[in-house]
Amino acid sequence: MKMKAVLELSNIRVMLYLLERGSARYSEILKGVGLSRGALALALRDLQDDELIERRVEATRPIQTTYSLTAKGKEIAKHLESIKKLVS
């Protein structure tokens, strides 16, 4: 696993948002991090590929998809949050 996802600013923004929220739907993340739809879709895909977030689909009407950090994602996001606080 290469873990390139944590090097992208858009991915870091998504991880920090999910760390704060716990879990969120696509539209909530889109509004919360201020990325374009394409950039968010790419960020979510990269983070899933690196097993830093998980995607949960609920078979309701309409279908609800939520995203949350995995244990590994939480650990990394906490470090990223600490770095953010140091440079702020």
Under 8 Å between Cβ of 55 and 16 = no
pLDDT in tens, 28-75: 999 999 999 999 999 999 999 999 999 999 998 888 999 999 999 999
Burial status of residue 51 (CB atoms within 10 A of its CB: 0-12, 13-18, 19 or more): middle
Burial of 87 (0-12, 13-18, 19+ CB in 10 A): exposed
pLDDT band at 2 (very low <50, low <70, confident <90, very high): low
pLDDT digits (tens, 9 = 90+) for 8-30: 899 999 999 999 999 999 999 99
Pairwise CA distance, residues 66 & 61, whole Å: 14
Domain at 4-87: CATH code: 1.10.10.10
